Amino acid sequence: MTRPAPTCVAFVPARSGSKRVTDKNIRMLAGHPLLAYAIRSAIDSGVFDAVVVATDSEDYAAIARHYGAEAPFLRPPEISGDTSPDIAWVNFALDALAAAGRRYDAFSILRPTSPFRKPATIRRAWDAFVAEDGVDSLRAVEKCDQHPAKMWILRGRRMHPLLPMGPPEQPWHSSQYAALPVVHVQNASLEIAWTRVATEGATIAGEVLMPFLTEGDEGLDVNTEEDWWYVNHLLARGQATLPPIDRPAFRSDHAV
């Protein structure tokens, strides 16, 4: 007998207290609030049984609903700060949904600050995740530009390599990039995990993680004013593309 396909809920975290860029998650990009691109790519991927925006703001919740997501609860202030761990709001959201009789085998985190993931990006990641045995989660990564072997810890007026490996005659910090081990860095494009990882292990990742290598613009992140300038520059030159949005832009004094 064929085993039923696992169910999955998409969480789009969108707290309102961004400090580096005020109201970053609803700032306009190419005519729509940033939040909209995560919502629409999630819905249009066809992967998820529900797309839920986890926010602490009624204004953000209204924007989420306009673009087709649910916002069935607000995050309490104590789990909405800039140092609040993801596991706190993930378990809050899973518990709130479970209390309403809605339980899912897996969850995905799609952060608004990564608006260039496409529906096809999500489908590719989901297919890889469900096909892999013995993993707790999947996380998007890309090859790093700044290699950690070239990074240092400062203690007073002395420097110590972050990665004190490599042969003594040719330490990594004095080697060419091409001679160093390939290292990948996580980006904000997406994460997927089995629900048990959060509810039983109190972590969003678990212990066994599989990589998902983003391609092209899929991993572009928008967190600073410089990032904002850069992605607009790429869009203007046709070097990056956003997922399509098939509805009119949300209009409100709160969208910035």
Q: What is the pLDDT of residues 197-241, one digit of tens each?
A: 999 999 999 999 999 999 999 999 999 999 999 999 999 999 999
The total number of structural domains in the chain stands at: 2
Judge if 134 and 156 occupy the same domain: no
For residue 193, is it left (φ>0), alpha (ψ between -120 and 50) or beta?
A: beta
Query: What does the pLDDT read at residue 253?
Result: 54
Q: Give the tens place of pLDDT for each residue, 101-154.
A: 999 999 999 999 999 999 999 999 999 999 999 999 999 999 999 999 999 999
Give domain status of residue 67, yes or no.
Answer: yes
Are both 203 and 91 inside the same structural domain?
yes
User: Which range (1-10, 43-52, 191-200) has the least confidence?
Assistant: 1-10
Cβ(53)–Cβ(70) below 8 Å: yes
| Any domain includes 31 | yes
In which domain, by residue range, is 52 found?
Answer: 8-140+185-236
Give the mean pLDDT of the chain: 94
CATH code, domain with 109? 3.90.550.10
Q: Which residue type is seen at 218? A: E
- Assess whether 97 and 220 both reside in one domain: yes
133 and 190 in a single domain? The answer is yes
Shared-domain flag, residues 229 and 216 = yes
Phi and psi angles of residue 215, each rounded to the nearest 5 degrees, phi first: -125, 140
Is residue 21 located within the same domain as residue 117?
Answer: yes
What pLDDT, on a 0 to 100 scale, did the predictor assign at position 1?
55
Whether residue 48 is contained in a domain is answered as: yes
Tell me, yes or no, whether 95 lies in a domain: yes
**Measured at the alpha carbon of residue 88, what is the angle toward residues 35 and 210, in degrees to the nearest 5?**
75
> Is 149 found in the same domain as 95?
no
| Residues 160 and 52 occupy one common structural domain | no
The mean per-residue pLDDT over the stretch 18-31 comes to: 88
247 part of a folded domain: no
pTM of the prediction? Answer: 0.92
Assigned domain for 56 exists? yes
Query: CB–CB of 55/74 below 8 Å?
Result: yes
